Amino acid sequence: MFGLQESLRIMTERIDSHHHLWQFNAAEFDWIDDRMKVLQRDYLPADLGKVLNAENIDGAVAVQARQSVDETEWLLAAAAGCGCIRGVVGWAPLANSEFERALDALASNRILKGLRHVIQAEPDENYILREDFNRGISALTKAGLVFDILILERHLPQAIEFVSRHPRQRFVLDHIGKPAIAVHRLEPWRTNIARLAERENVSCKVSGMVTEASWRSWREDDLRPYWDCVLEAFTPRRLMFGSDWPVCLVASSYSRWVEVVRGWVRRLSAPEQERVLGATAIEVYQLG
């Protein structure tokens, strides 16, 4: 149970549950092509602090952008020197036989709140169901850490089976499962999202939507049906705001995305607004 001070903090803090930091070089960030020139530079804690302060957001969760333990350690060090970073979702080799040893070393740092693997980039469509990967998730559960699910829409059936194997594990679906917003297609994403949300151990980030839409011409009306679906499926209790900054900058300023989400939640009750804008992230990631 939260004490009075903790409850008051949850009622006031605003959390961006998903952002990235990096020291850019083309070799390590080969997914950033010339369409994304705005991303071809360093994004560091000082840059993050500026955008958070401008929108009165109190804290954020830094998420891995490279599948490297070195990057995870770098993010943990950055968080230690930046009060606005409340937690880190890093990477470690979940499918490796030495994973538990690597996890022990990383999890000794309490700023580490979870791990993520770039499932969407794996050639094996069923990677998330592999036995070695799932052994790693079982170890993550024992450590009390979150797993962020980064997939494409087509992976949702496998994700449903995956989370069903681990009822005690806390999961967070990144970017609402990356639906086909640019072509205005709702199915089968909508049906699969509803099925995934039946698993109470899964929460969902309202993030990454603008980069799944048409970058240069999206409107709020293009995104709204997808928001309505996740709102119904997960309810505000399991939704959390995230920006996917700086990746979002290819399609939207930070302030514009914040404005869109605040417009959506304004129609909810005050407690429901608190859940989406901060309390869900604080609870799921156990942010200090």
Domains of the chain from N-terminus onward:
4-285 (3.20.20.140)
Task: Evaluate if pTM is beyond 0.85.
Answer: yes
Strand order in the sheet with 85-90: 15-19, 59-63, 85-90, 112-118, 146-150, 171-173, 202-206, 239-241
* 24 phi/psi in degrees, rounded to 5: -75, 135
Averaged pLDDT, 114-122: 97
Q: What is the pLDDT, as a whole number, of residue 12?
A: 64
Structure tokens at 53: 């302060």
Q: What is the pLDDT, as a whole number, of residue 73?
A: 97
In degrees, rounded to 5, the angle at the alpha carbon of residue 175 between the alpha carbons of residues 103 and 100 is 10
d(C-alpha 260, C-alpha 98), whole Å: 43
Judged against a pLDDT cut of 60, whether residue 6 lies above it is answered with no
Share of the chain above pLDDT 70, in %: 96
- pLDDT tens-digit series, residues 183-235: 999 999 999 999 999 999 999 999 999 999 999 999 999 999 999 999 999 99
Structure tokens at 215: 């970058």
Q: The tokens 């549950």 sit on which residue? A: 17
d(C-alpha 115, C-alpha 92), whole Å: 7
Q: What is the pLDDT, as a whole number, of residue 288?
A: 73
